[in-house]
Amino acid sequence: MTDMALTVKIPERDIPVYTEVDVVVAGGGPSGVAAALAAARNGASVLLIEQRGYLGGMATVSQVPAFCPYTDQIKPVIRGIGLEILLAMKSRMEETFQEAWKDRLDWVPIDAEILKRILDEKMMEAGVKVLYHTFVGQVLQQDGFLEAAIIYNKTGTQAVKGKIYIDATSDADLTYLAGGQFAKGGDDGELQPGTMCFVLNNLDRNKFLSSVETHSHDLKHAINKAKLEGRLRVARDWAGISWINNHTAGFNFGHVFGIDGSNTDDLTRGAIEGRALVEHITGWLREAIPGFENAFLTLTGEQIGIRETRRIIGDYIVTADDFLACRSFPDDIARNAYFIDIHMAKPTSGMTMVRLSPGESHGIPYRALLPAGIQNVIVAGRAISTDRAAQGSTRVMPNCFAMGEASGTAAAILAEKGTRETRSIDITDLQRRLVRQGAWLGEQINERY
């Protein structure tokens, strides 16, 4: 552990400028991907910074096995770039998979390797400059404006300058470095647990399905039995299983508690404990579940999957009441229909799930993407300005695509008009462009444009 009372002084030095662009996007998960593509397609010069060697965020870094729903159970509410990417991935998966999933948009299994290639290709097609193996460690600011972001990679320490910065880091790292205001977790600082997702190969799906009444599709019956017998050490009686083909599946199974994804010590512990838990779970699956007798552990996430860390304090805070009332806003830039999904903070806690009725959704206002006191930063993804309950709903990847597309489109409009004031956006212009790009902002707004 580092003794935080000790400090060292870094000598003052000149840092070379790597590049200067209209829009700097920090983070290459769904929100950053959509932001970069939207900004570039609207004519802006864009730099996308990603600390790994590929894009996709939790879908590729942490092997989250499926995309959460794109629909409100009746129609897709996540369209535009998010739907474009989902359909592109589906079109390149195995023919039997395409046939099974051709008309389905909810809980679609993810093939991480296909997704990585698609995202590389789309960035090249749009003219986005991508910088892998790089992270932002410092920002320079003046009078509420970011003037430069300081990046670190194998080349050394450099600066990047943009007119507008999009914080798509999931943990609002850019905003944190700029001194933004935050909330985190519940009233007592509790956070949702992390999950080390994993991929198993050499499975027999047909055998698994033939005895599904005994163990259930999500293994609920088998898990409860094994827990009572002391053979399985997991807190929740549920396993998310996403079949890529008849022999390969991704798993969202098990929790590691007390992990703050914005703390490196916690991420390290999460990696170690997460891999150990996966080994334990895999051994149990081989012994207990028909069709899994010869399961081979192919992959664990590079990082434990994180559900919750910082939430910015923005110009508007989206609340659980907004969710329940299916509220719309004059500055809506996306819609959300995913249920409130708050995982237990402790092994003895319960799950919180609150669902909307089919066909219902609520708006996400542009104001919730603007961190208080900072002028030229737009936040997209799970760190937007919400209360904790609403964050349990807005945090998922399809929503991040939609928020990212809105932030990138807004950034391009601002750059085009020669202003860095994110609050000066013409909402009518932004909404019109989003609708024409294929986004869905609700019947009223979409009919208007």
pLDDT tens column, 360-416: 999 999 999 999 999 999 999 999 999 999 999 999 999 999 999 999 999 999 999
The pLDDT of residue 440 is above 80:
yes
The pLDDT of residue 3 is above 70:
no
Q: What tokens does 372 get?
A: 């208080």
Mean pLDDT of 158-179: 98
Mean pLDDT, all residues of the chain: 97
User: pTM for the full model?
Assistant: 0.97
Q: Domain spans of the chain?
A: 17-187+308-448, 198-300
Q: What is the pLDDT of residues 206-234, one digit of tens each?
A: 999 999 999 999 999 999 999 999 999 99
Report residue 348's pLDDT band, with 50, 70 and 90 as the boundaries: confident
The pLDDT of residue 99 is above 70:
yes
Q: What is the pLDDT of residues 282-335, one digit of tens each?
A: 999 999 999 999 999 999 999 999 999 999 999 999 999 999 999 999 999 999
pLDDT confidence of residue 4? 65
Lowest mean pLDDT among 43-47, 281-285, 300-304, 341-345: 341-345
In CATH, which superfamily holds the domain spanning 17-187+308-448? FAD/NAD(P)-binding domain (3.50.50.60)
Distances, alpha carbon 132 to alpha carbons 28, 57, 114, in Å = 9, 13, 18
